Amino acid sequence: MSKQPKLGDVDKLKRPPFETAELRKQISEFFKGSYDDPITGKSQTIGSYIWGVYAFYDYDGEPIYVGQTKEQVSGRVGRHLTNQRTDAVAMSVLDPFEVAEIEIWPLPQFNHIDKEYRKGHSAEFKAALAYLNAVEHEVFTRLKAESQFKAVLNEKDPPAPTVKIELPASRRGRIISDRVLEIRQHPDVRIARRALIVSRLAQVISERSVKFGLRRVLLAQAQRLEWLAQRRFEALGGEKEVEVGPENEEEDKEG
């Protein structure tokens, strides 16, 4: 058992909070997982791929966000979930707290097209980008259709595909430990957190000139919040459990 710091020494702690440390650990473990490359027949870690499409899922397995990368899968996804350096997180479109699972569709056929390579091979880069966009469109369309809300939290729709693609095999995995799941999955915690995100997003919209897609995200988040609250209310008994009596009980007692 690790030695716990004394109360007076807490301010000197250099390690991150428990949940933050656990998240980083689980993300790292996920990206160390192997993926069988259908082109080379070899296996390599899922996080080592440069090009690919990714999706995030919440604690109910509900798809909540779809994105793409051509800079390395692990780096792009890691920035979404561990800091504020992406617009989706900074604008409260995506709440990393809600992400329980990741799914990756890597594109190993483009792994050689890095930043240096694409400088002298612009035509090949453009063809790869068209393929990547088409894969993102396919994943986005499928997951949106599978969602019970018929929505994901993307501010923009992917462009219509211009090439035919074959959706590659994906790898999906959970990125929160059992201990963190126990802390976060309580419905009242999730409702409070989602209400906070709705409030933040509504404030962003009220204070800035925003694109219409952000209003769609707010609507989707509000619907997801209502669904959570309704499920929790009904699970605890619903209307039959609502108390009966004067609203201002303290005033009535004093009178």
pLDDT band at 203 (very low <50, low <70, confident <90, very high): very high
- Arithmetic mean of pLDDT, 193-216: 91
Distance of CA 100 to the CA centre of its chain: 8
- Arithmetic mean of pLDDT, 220-249: 92
Is residue 255 scored above 50 in pLDDT?
Answer: no
Measured over the CA atoms of residue 36, residue 42, residue 47 and residue 53, the dihedral's sign is negative
**DSSP 3-state of 164:** coil
Kindly report, residue by residue over 62-72, the tens digit of the pLDDT.
999 999 999 88
Lowest mean pLDDT, pick from 7-11, 14-18, 19-23, 149-153: 7-11
Using a pLDDT cut of 90, give the percent of the chain over it: 62
Is residue 54 scored above 90 in pLDDT?
Answer: yes
56 bridge partner residues: 65, 102
Is residue 209 scored above 90 in pLDDT?
Answer: no
What pLDDT, on the 0 to 100 scale, is given for residue 219? 95
Is residue 55 scored above 50 in pLDDT?
Answer: yes
Better-predicted residue by pLDDT, 200 or 253: 200
What pLDDT, on the 0 to 100 scale, is given for residue 116? 84
Every domain of the chain and the residues it spans = 16-177
What pLDDT, on the 0 to 100 scale, is given for residue 156? 92
Beta carbons of 219 and 150 less than 8 angstroms apart: no
Q: Tokens 């082109």 — which residue?
A: 39
Amino acid at 230: Q
Q: Quick one: DSSP state of residue 216? A: H
Helix (H) or strand (E) holding 137: helix 122-146
Kindly report, residue by residue over 120-171, the tens digit of the pLDDT.
788 999 999 999 999 999 999 999 999 999 999 999 999 999 999 999 999 9
What pLDDT, on the 0 to 100 scale, is given for residue 154? 93
Write b or e for each residue in 59-90: b if 16 or more Cβ atoms lie within 10 A of its Cβ, otherwise e. Answer: beebbbbbbbbbebbbebbbbbbeeeebebbe
pLDDT band at 83 (very low <50, low <70, confident <90, very high): low
What pLDDT, on the 0 to 100 scale, is given for residue 249? 61
pTM across the whole model: 0.88
Alpha helices per DSSP H over 33-106: 73-82, 87-90
pLDDT band at 174 (very low <50, low <70, confident <90, very high): very high
Is residue 254 scored above 70 in pLDDT?
Answer: no
